[in-house]
Amino acid sequence: MAKAKKSVFFCQNCGHEESKWLGQCPMCKEWNSFVEECVTTSKTAAVKAAKEIHIVPLSEVKTENEERVTTEIKELDRVLGGGIVPGSLILVGGDPGIGKSTLLLQVCQKLAKKERKVLYISGEESLRQIKLRAQRMGEFNDHLLLLCETNLELIRNVIEKEKPDTVIIDSIQTMYSEEVGSAPGSVSQVREATNTLMQLAKGLGISIFIVGHVTKEGTVAGPRVLEHMVDTVLYFEGDRHASYRILRGVKNRFGSTNEIGVFEMRRDGLREVENPSEFMLNGRPENASGSVVACSMEGTRPILLEIQALVCESNFGMPRRTAAGTDYNRVNLLMAVLEKRIGYHLGNYDAYVNIAGGIKINEPAIDLGIVMAIVSSYKNRPFDERTIVFGEVGLSGEVRAVNMPEQRVAEAKKLGFETCIVPEVSLDSVKSIGGIKIIGVKSINEAIGLIE
C-alpha cells in the first residue's frame, strides 16, 4: 500500500472538493468559502472479491422492533420521537453557553441511574470542570465514565474496549485524526471524525450524541455533509441571557421533524416546561392595542403565542420595518396586502412586529395574527384578550386553511380562551368542539370587521 499527499480545496459551507481554489463554490454558490488542506491518499491493489459481497432481497430483510431508551426528560424524548434509538447518531447544535453540555450531562445522569453505561468524552473541559458542573445537578453514580481526549484513534479504542450504551462527544470540532493532515475543526477533520463515529454507532449499536458549534448564521459549523451523515439534528434556540431554551428537531430519521421541547435554565440545570403555551403568554399586557394571540403548530404540538405590533407615523421619507421572531419579508408582504385590498395607507408608517418570548416562528398560520396585530395598532383599538386567531393569508386577502385546526382550537379551549377566529373552510373540522365560540372568516376584511 502506497500513500501520497496532495493539496485540495474544500468548501467550508457544503464540503465540496476542488483541485484548485475558486472564488465561488459551484455547489452551494457561496463566495470565498474554499480553504486549502493537505490530504493523504492511499493506493492499494487489494479489491474485495465478488463472493464477499452479499446482495439480499428486500423481502428477506428482517426488522426487529427495538425499544427506545427513554431519558426521563419528557421534552427531550418528545423531540427525539419517543426516546433514544440504539445505534443512532445525534447532533446537538447551539450558541455558546446556551446549555448543550448541561442538557447532555443531565441525560448522562438519568441514564446512569437506570444502570446504563455512559461515556462522556470532552475535548474542551477538564475533568474538574465537568465535576463542578455535575455537583450543581445532584448525585451521579459510577455508571458515568469520563474521558478528556481529542485523538480520534484513542477514542475509538476506548469505545471498542468499554462498549458503553451511550457516548457523548463534546465537541466534534475538537476531535482530530492523525491520518488527516489538517488542523482540528477543519472540513476534513470534522468529516473524518463524524464518519468514524457513525461506523462505531452502527457497528456496535451505541447511541452517540455529538455537540456541534454553530456559525453566526445559526447553522452547525463545518461542512453541510455533517448534517446529512447523522440520524438526528437538534438545535438549541433562544437568547442565552433569557431563562428559557427551545430545543428543535430539524431532522429525525426515527420520528417527526420540527418538534420542539421547552426548557427553563436554572442554577441546578435545565428544567422542563410542561405547558409552553402558558409559559409564552405570561406577562401579557391588558387592554393594549397591537397585541394578538395566535396558534402555531410545532411538529405535533400546538403552541399559543403573543404577536405584538407597533405602527406609528414615520418621521423620515422611508418608513422603517422591523420583524423579530418571524420572517421580515412576510411582514412586508402582509402590509402590502392591507394597502392594496383594504385601502390602509401604511406607506408613511413605521411598523415593528415581534413574537413575544423570543421564539422563532415561520409557519404561515400566524399570518392572520400578524395582520390583526398590525390593524389593532394602526387603529389603536385593543383586541379581545380571550380570543385567538390563526389562518394563512393569500395575496388576494383571502384566509386559507391550515393543518390540524382541531388541535389548535382544543389548546385554546384548554387555556380558557372563549373565542377562536379560524378560516371558514376549517369550520367543518372544528364544529364538534364545544365550550368555545368559533368564528369562520373568508377574508381579512371580515376578520378586521370583528374589531371595528
Binding-site residues, in ranges, read 94-101
Locus of grid cell 378586521: 448
CA distance 231 to 224: 14
Cell of 183: 488542523
Using alpha carbons only, what angle is made at residue 125 by residues 120 and 130, rounded to the nearest 5 degrees?
60
Within a 13 Å sphere around the CA of 206, how many CA atoms are in the beta-carbon half? 28
Cα Rg of the chain (Å, integer): 26
In the numeric block, the cell 461506523 is attached to 199
d(CA 387, CA 417): 6
Considering only the C-alpha atoms of the chain, give the largest distance between any 2 of them, rounded to a whole number of Å: 81
On whether the CB atoms of residues 383 and 412 are closer than 8 A, the answer is no
Residue 414 makes CB contacts below 8 A (sequence gap 6+) with none
Query: E-assigned strands of 123-243?
Result: 144-148, 166-170, 207-212, 232-237
User: Considering only CA atoms, which of 373, 333, 338, 376 is closest in space to residue 355?
Assistant: 373
Give binding residues for ATP as ranges. Answer: 94-101
Per the structure block, which three cell numbers stand in for 437? 365560540
Rounding to the nearest 10 degrees, give the CA dihedral for residues 27, 28, 30, 34: -50
If we measure between CA atoms, which residue out of 148, 222, 242, 244 comes closest to residue 233? 222
Q: What residues does 321 pair with on adjacent strands? A: 351
* DSSP-derived pairing of the beta strands 291-298 and 232-237: unpaired
